[in-house]
Amino acid sequence: MNPQRFPFTRETSLFVLAYLYVPVVVLIAYSFNANRTATVWTHASLDWYGRILVNPSIQSAAWNSLVIAVSAATAATVLALLAALATRRAFLGCGASEAILNMPLILPEIAVAVATLLLFVSLGVKLGLGAMVAAHTAFCIPFAYLPIRARLDGISGTYEEAAHDLYANRFRTFRRVTMPLLWPGVMAGFTLAFVTSLDDFLTSFFLAGPGLTTLPVYIFSAIRAGITPEINAISAVMLVVSVLLVSLSFFLGRLRR
Amino acid sequence: MSAALRRFFLLSPALAVILFLIGVPLCLMAWVSLLDKGGTSGVDWSSAPSSANYVRLAWEEDFDGTMILNTSYLVIFLRSVSLAAVTTVLSLAFGLPVALWMASLSRTGRDIMLLLITIPFWTNLLVRNYAWLIILREDGWVSRFVNMISPWPVQLLYNDAAVAIGLTYSLLPFTILPLYTVFEKFDWRLLEAAHDLGATRKRALLRVVLPIATPGIVAGALLVFIPCLGAFVTPALLGGGKTLMLGNIIQMQFGASRNWPFGATLAVVLLAIMLVVMTAMALWRNRRTA
């Protein structure tokens, strides 16, 4: 059953794909440009990649980003996994709970970021890594929750019933039956939470405190100071890392049940 | 352990984290929006709550003490709302044909397109907007080309159009995906029926496809409009100092201006606009299904 094709839908789609991908390709191409002025193409080189590898402020920003993303994604995945197990069967207040879990997805990030800043300052919490990990954990929860929940919905209850009939207790059933089936969903959720945290700019920007940067915060201030080929190279690296991780998550989500 | 108790222990950690780190801060921010600025932290915590910050949004005190209209913030509100509206319309105009085309593809084709449309969403927003900065900047080849054929000098960056391009670029996937989910389930025989009954393509599009796509259009419009209102990165990079949006002035109050209560006021207004839009959409949807 082939839908009737409307004129120009194909052309528009190709245009949209170009619109989405040309800037990315241009950016990556320029990151290999040897010329200092970044707009004039001389010849291909890996110079800028070499430079960002030995730049100490980029190294420390990358390290901070990584520490925050690993901690926040781990915490968010554990919390989301527990919550997903709880909301598996509908109950009174299930809808409300899910609405709260998904709240970070709809709220404008800038409002949440400044509100969290106000909270930390009013409580006397020191800004920095700890504050950023806490805030990232909160907004990463729905990104981990949704894939885990989707995977859980696809697991038939009969496996657990069988385990139960064979005298496995609740914990054993979870460890030996539910968890192995759920694992790809958990990994997909972790990866999405990790990418979300790694790419976050606004929350980190407000909560970083003096002297601390993450990669996106570093990139933002570097752009403000002027376009350099180094920014192209870091940006290209960040793009490639995100794309690889998301493809991994997509693949994990499609693993056979 | 009863099922309810177990459920409570499983669910409460995640809910507690979100409520404490997102819910409580938003309430605190509403309170701070009523206070005065001051102190080293930017807020005078002991000041008496007043609506002074909200009055400041539209009025200012003249030298002789009378209140006069101050349109500088209103202009920024208006610009934010109109840029969000333009972006929403553009995203729908591009999203609708793409979603239609995707639904007409084979299973593999759909999956590939789905992946291609989703990937940009997961890449860094800052980096994607920076890419446009490279493309549109003054000494770039696009700018040179445009200036070569244009009879007057054209500045591509740092204006409303550049911000609209960047916002549409950032948020376009959000209209394509909900529209696609509608068209994916669409029974295309309805179109054949319309055709058999003598409807032209245009008529079939207006009378069959669009009404069915309405839930997807509404969902997509919300998903684009709301993030646009709170946009910070795109106007900061592509808009320069002249094209400020709500997000930029919120950041300025928490940064250089150091007037946190007024920044909180602006953020509360942002949330209020968002709430109004979402409530209107929900009411409209209820009336439609009722």
**Is residue A42 predicted with pLDDT exceeding 80?**
no
Is A78 inside any structural domain?
yes
Same domain, B154 and B181: yes
A95 vs A98: CA distance, rounded Å: 5
State both tokens at B239. 């808009």
Per-residue confidence (pLDDT) for residue A69, from 0 to 100: 96
Domain assignment present for residue A86? The answer is yes
pLDDT of residue A255: 73
pLDDT at A7: 76
Amino acid at B258: R
Q: Per-residue DSSP letters for A150-201?
A: HHHHTS-THHHHHHHHTT--HHHHIIIIIHHHHHHHHHHHHHHHHHHHHH--
Residue B212: pLDDT band by 50, 70, 90 thresholds? confident
Q: How far apart are CA A7 and CA A210, in angstroms?
A: 55
Whether residues B179 and B224 fall in one domain: yes
**Residue A239 belongs to some domain of the structure:** yes
Scanning B253-282 for CB atoms below 8 A from A yields 254, 260, 263-264, 267-268, 270-271, 274, 278
**Domain identity same for B241 and B103:** yes
Do B102 and B178 lie in one domain? The reply is yes
Is residue B173 located within the same domain as residue B266? yes
Which tokens sit at A234? 């870091």
Asked if residue B249 and residue B125 are part of one domain, the reply reads: yes
Specify the range with the lowest mean pLDDT, choosing from A73-87, B26-40, B181-195. B181-195
Determine the Cα–Cα distance for residues B123 and A149; give it in Å rounded to an integer: 23
DSSP conformation letters of chain A: -PPPPPTTHHHHHHHHHHHHHHHHHHHHHHHTB--TTSSS---B--HHHHHHHH-HHHHHHHHHHHHHHHHHHHHHHHHHHHHHHHTSS--TTHHHHHHHHTHHHHS-HHHHHHHHHHHHHHHTPPPSHHHHHHHHHHHHHHHHHHHHHHHHHTS-THHHHHHHHTT--HHHHIIIIIHHHHHHHHHHHHHHHHHHHHH--HHHHHHS-TT---HHHHHHHHHHH---HHHHHHHHHHHHHHHHHHHHHHHHHTS--
Q: Are residues B270 and B131 part of one domain?
A: yes
**Helix ranges, B137-230 (H):** 141-149, 160-171, 173-184, 189-196, 201-204, 210-229
Task: Identify whether residues B200 and B256 lie together within a single domain.
Answer: yes
pLDDT the model gives residue A5: 67
| A218-247 residues touching B, CB cutoff 8 A | 219-220, 223, 227, 231-232, 235, 238-239, 242-243, 245-247
- Reference B87, options B190, B290, B272, B230; nearest CA is B230
The domain that contains B167 carries what CATH number?
Answer: 1.10.3720.10
CA dihedral B226, B228, B230, B235 (to 10 degrees): 180
Same-domain pairing of B64 and B139: no
Do the domain assignments include residue A71?
Answer: yes
> Residue A5 falls within a domain, yes or no?
no
Listed residue (B57, B126, B270) closest to A111, CA to CA: B270
Check if A30 contacts B (Cβ < 8 Å). Answer: yes
pLDDT tens string B241-264: 778 899 999 999 998 888 999 999
Q: Does a structural domain hold residue A73?
A: yes
pLDDT score, position B4: 86
Would you say B228 and B88 are in contact if contact means Cβ atoms under 8 Å apart? yes
Residues B128 and B29 occupy one common structural domain: no
Residue B286, classified by CB atoms within 10 Å of its CB into exposed (0-12), middle (13-18) or buried (19+), is exposed
Q: pLDDT tens digits, residue range A219-255?
A: 999 998 888 888 889 999 999 998 898 888 888 877 7
Closest approach of chain A CAs to the CA of B200, in angstroms?
A: 11
> How many structural domains is chain B composed of?
2
Same domain, B155 and B251: yes
Distance, in Å, from the CA atom of B199 to the CA atom of A150, rounded to the nearest integer, reads 41
pLDDT at A57 over 60: yes
> Which pLDDT score, from 0 to 100, does residue A80 have?
96
Residue A172 lies in a domain: yes
- Does a structural domain hold residue A43? yes
For B113-128, the pLDDT digits (tens) are 998 998 888 888 999 9
CA pair distance A193, A147, nearest whole angstrom: 10
In the stretch 42-61 of chain B, residues with CB closer than 8 A to chain A read: 42-43, 45
Number of structural domains (chain A) is 1
Q: Mind telling me how many Å the CA of B79 is from chain A's nearest CA?
A: 17
pLDDT tens readout for residues B47-84: 888 888 898 888 887 777 788 888 889 999 999 999 99
Q: Which domain holds residue A167?
A: 25-253
CB of A106 within 8 Å of a chain B CB? The answer is yes
Residue B30 sits in the same domain as residue B127: no
Give percent above pLDDT 70 in chain B. Answer: 98
| Spatial CB neighbours of B228, under 8 Å, sequence gap ≥ 6 | B80, B83, B84, B87, B88, B167, B171
The CATH number for A76's domain is 1.10.3720.10
* Boundaries of domain holding B96: 74-289
